[in-house]
Structure 1
Amino acid sequence: MTTLFLMVGLPGAGKTTRARQLAEEHGALRLTPDDWMIPLFGLSEPDGKRDVLEGRMLWLALEAVKLGTDVVVDYGCWSRDERSAIRWLVEAENACFRMIYLPVDDATQRARIARRRATAPEQTLPMSEADILYGRAHFEEPDEAELDRRTMDGPPHGWPTWREWAADRWPSFV
């Protein structure tokens, strides 16, 4: 069965390293916005363009899944709603959804971010102290039920379907 692997975690958790491993192990297409943001825009969040890029990547991921190609989506997906929407979209295509959550403690995260910035600045988006604190404050850690795929929330109040929610969250998805 075709599988979409969704990488979940904060910056510095090791998501991209693990995404590369999964892509190689499974012959999967790897979609990592950071690989595109610097070459295209030179920034990580230029005027909402990241959401547009992620939307097109999500559309591409679902097209690949329909064609029988495994995909690794390396977004981070901080919110449960984002993860639930992607899971629903993947399962609607009769594909397997696998969430890969990589937790990271504060000290390890900071050390990895600093090391990456020092060793590969041309491939690294700058992160300030405020960025790190913002991420930690806004990240919704997946619980055991979500990780074990025992539960999936319905769309947030006011949204009839996950597809409609996703089209609003990632404007270029549709």
Structure 2
Amino acid sequence: MAMLILTVGLQGAGKTTRARQLAAKLNALRLTPDEWMIPLFGESEADGKRDVLEGQLLKLALEALRLGNAVVLDFGCWSRNERYAIRHLVEEAGGSFELAYLPVDEATQRARVAHRQATAPYETFPMPEQELADARAFFEEPDDAELSNGQISDLPEGWRSWREWAADRWPSFGDDWRPPTRA
């Protein structure tokens, strides 16, 4: 069954745990950027490399859908536009889309992040309080319409397609992307 489940939520919400459960239940391909960032770069962001990696994982997810597979995409996707773009691309690829939103209150989030850092520091990144607060301020919580796969909002002004928007957000997703040349 060609379907993509996108896990959405803040750090410490339980996205990766839920993604693992869903992948096992559905015999799905699970794509989690953090599991690639640590071994490849040793850090979460690595000078924009996360966006490049996510673009490649998104391409892989869409190819798996075209082949009829289920995919669990564990991206977090804090903005509605990210979620709308992925949903549009999934539907364009002939797959069905489901959003798995995991809300988390501040106290639980801080406790989970601290526990993860204390028990498995090699699997996670340090997350200072300010980073968690900034993420919470930036996060656009899914509304009822989005959670029920209602109407996708209009494209942000200046964009001709969600595919074009996605190629800007995740640079390596675009067909004409080339790695930067070294000076």
Contact 1:154/1:162 (8 A) holds in 2: no
CA distance in 2, matches of 1:118, 1:72: 27
C-alpha separation between the residues in 2 aligned to 1:151 and 1:136? 25
Structure 1 distance, partners of 2:150, 2:42, is 40
The residue type equivalent to 1:95 in the other structure is: G
- TM-score by length of structure 2 reads 0.94
Give the drift of 1:154: 2.2
8 Å contact kept, 1:6–1:73: yes
Matched, 1:51 2:51: yes
Partner residue in 2 for 1:93: 93
1:16–1:32 contact (8 Å) kept in structure 2? yes
Separation of aligned partners in 2, 1:171 and 1:95: 23
Secondary structure in structure 1 of the residue aligned to 2:172? coil
Corresponding residue number in structure 1 for 2:180? none
* Structure 1 runs (4+) greater than 6 angstroms displaced: none
Relative to the length of structure 1, the TM-score reads 0.99
Query: Alignment identity in percent?
Result: 66
The alpha-carbon deviation at position 104 of structure 1 amounts to 0.2
Separation of aligned partners in 2, 1:58 and 1:75: 10
C-alpha distance in 2, partners of 1:33/1:150?
Answer: 27
Q: In 2, distance between residues paired with 1:134 and 1:66?
A: 36
**1:108-151: CA deviations, max 9, x gaps?**
00000000001101111110111101100000000000100122
Which residues of 2 match residues 21-40 of structure 1 at below 5 A? 21-40=21-40
How many residues align? The count is 174
Aligned to 1:8: 8
Unaligned runs of 5+ in 2: 175-183
Partner of 2:72, secondary structure, is strand
For residue 98 of structure 2, give the secondary structure of its aligned residue in structure 1: strand
What is the CA-CA distance between 1:17 and the residue it aligns to? Answer: 0.1
SS of residue matched to 1:134: helix
- Structure 1 gap ranges (5+): none
2:102 paired with 1:102: yes
